Homo-oligomer: A and B are copies of this chain.
Amino acid sequence: MTTRKVAAAKKSAAPAKPVKVAILGFGTVGSSVAKVLAASKFPGIELTHIYNRSIDRKRTSVAAKFVPKAAVWTEDINVILNARVDVVIELMGGLNPAEGWLRKALGSGKSVITANKQLIAYRGASLAKLAAANGVHLVYGAAVAGGVPVIPGLVQGLGGDHATRISGLINGTCNYILTRMETGADYATVLGDAQSLGYAESDPSADVDGYDARAKLCILSRIALHAELDPDAVATQSIADVDAIDFAYAKELSCTIRQVSSAQLEGAIVHARVAPMLVPLSSPMAWSHGTQNMVIVSGRFGGDVVFSGHGAGGEPTAVAVVSDLLAVSQGSHAVHLPVRKRAVTGEFMASHYLRFIVDDKPGIVSAISGALAKVGANIDSLLQRPGYPKHRLPFVVTTEPCLTSTITKALASIGKMDCMLEHPLCLQMLDPEEKV
C-alpha cells in the first residue's frame, strides 16, 4: 500500500512551535490582517514583524493595537529577510520591490502569502517554481475577489472538472461605478464618489481601463483553465467611454452594462477579454451591486458554478490572507495540476452593441448599414430614443453574432464618416442563452 503518499498529516492544528509571521505593508489590508488574527487567536500563529515605510506613523496608528507588543516594527526589509520568520505576508502591491524581496524570502526557506495580483499574474509561474525548489508555500487566495474563496474553491474543489470558461466581475471599483450609473448617475460624479470612498485611486486607470481585472483574469485562467497567459496580450477596453445613454439603450435590449472579464479555452487558444459588455438582465452578473465580485466557472461536467461576495475592502481581503495562513501553518498544500502556456486572442463570436453620436443628415443609416454589410455583419436591431437634438443624435445598432475583428474593421471606416461626432462605442453583448 502506498500509505505514505496518501497519508494525512497527523493532527497539526496546534503545532508545538508557533509559525512566525511577518506582514509587509501595514495599510488597509495589512492592519485588517492584524485585527483578524487578534480576534481569532489561532493557536500556533505568531505575528512577529511588521514592515512599512514611515514606520513610526504606523506604529502609533489605531490599528497598531492589534499587533502583539513583542512584534518588531521595521523600515528595513533585511531585518525580516534575516529573521527566523516562517511566513511572509506581502501586501504592498506592484512588481517592484515586491518581486525581489519575495524571491529572497522564498530562497531563504520562508513561505509567502500575497494579495499582489500584478506580481502573480506576471511572475506567478516563476515564483511557484522557486517556492517548490525551496520546499515552501506560495499562496495567493487574496489576489482575486478578496474575501470570496474563488481560488481555494477552484483549486481544491473543481480540479476534477474540465473548466472551459471563466468569466465574471472581478473589479469592485468598476462594478461600483457601473451599478451606480445604471440608476442614473453620470460617470464623472460616480468616479469622484468612488475616489472619496477609497474604492478608486487618484489615477483610476488600473481599475477603469481594465488592467487590474486583466491580471486577475490571468490568475484565474491559470487555476481554472490550466492556461498560462501573457497579461499584456489580453485585450482590454475602458469603461470610461460608457455613457448614461448606453444604460438607457441597454435597458431597451433587456440588458445592463458590466465590466466583464472572460477567458474561454478553445483547443490550444484562449479567447480572453476585459471590457464593458451588455449583460442580459437574466444573468446573475446583472444582479450584482456595489463593489460585489462574481466569478462564474463553466465546466464540462459540473456546469456553471457561481461564487460571489464582497471582493474589495480590508477585512474581506484579510479573511483570504488569514485563511491562506491557516493552510500554510498547518502544512496543507494546494492541489497541483500541470499548467500550459497558451496563446491569447481577443476575438469573440458575439453580437455587438454599436452606439453612434452623429450630426444627423439623410443617408447616415444607409452609410452605416452599408459599411457593416461590406464586412459581412448583419444588423439585428436599430434603436433611436426620442428627445435628442438632431445635431448631436445618439442612436444604436445591434448586430447578429460576428467576430470582434469584423466589427472593428467596419468601425474603422464608420468612424471616419463626416457625420460622426465621436468615435463609435462598441460593446460586446453576452448571449442570454449562456446564462453567464
Residues in chain A within 8 A of chain B (CB atoms): 1-3, 5-13, 15, 17-20, 32, 36, 39-40, 84-87, 109-111, 131-132, 135-137, 141, 146-162, 284, 287, 299-310, 315-316, 318-338
Q: How far is the CA of A310 from the CA of B304 in the complex (A)?
A: 7
Least CB distance, A287 to chain B, in whole angstroms: 6
Known: A7-B331, A8-B111, A156-B156. 4 other contacts (CB 8 A): A2-B17, A8-B333, A284-B287, A332-B332
| In the complex, chain B residues whose CB is within 8 Å of the CB of A9 | 331, 333
| In the complex, chain B residues whose CB is within 8 Å of the CB of A324 | 160
**This chain: how many copies in the complex?**
2
A-B contact pairs, 26 of them (CB 8 A): A2-B15, A8-B135, A8-B331, A9-B333, A11-B336, A32-B301, A149-B154, A149-B158, A150-B157, A151-B157, A152-B155, A152-B156, A155-B156, A156-B334, A159-B322, A159-B326, A160-B320, A284-B308, A301-B319, A302-B315, A303-B310, A305-B307, A305-B310, A326-B335, A326-B337, A330-B336
| In the complex, chain B residues whose CB is within 8 Å of the CB of A305 | 147-149, 307-310
Residue of A19, A20, A152, A335 with highest tally of chain B CB at under 10 A: A335
Least CB distance, A343 to chain B, in whole angstroms: 23
Name the residue on B nearest A300 (C-beta).
Answer: B39
Query: Of the candidates B315, B322, B336, which one forms a contact with A13 in the assembled complex, judged by CB atoms under 8 Å apart?
Result: B336
Q: Are B332 and A156 in contact (CB under 8 A)?
A: yes
Name the residue on B nearest A293 (C-beta).
Answer: B305
Least CB distance, A283 to chain B, in whole angstroms: 10
Query: Of the candidates B40, B300, B332, which one forms a contact with A333 in the assembled complex, judged by CB atoms under 8 Å apart?
Result: B332
Q: Are B306 and A309 in contact (CB under 8 A)?
A: yes
Q: How far is the CA of A308 from the CA of B148 in the complex (A)?
A: 13
Q: How far is the CA of A380 from the CA of B218 in the complex (A)?
A: 51
| In the complex, chain B residues whose CB is within 8 Å of the CB of A146 | 302
Q: Are B13 and A5 in contact (CB under 8 A)?
A: no
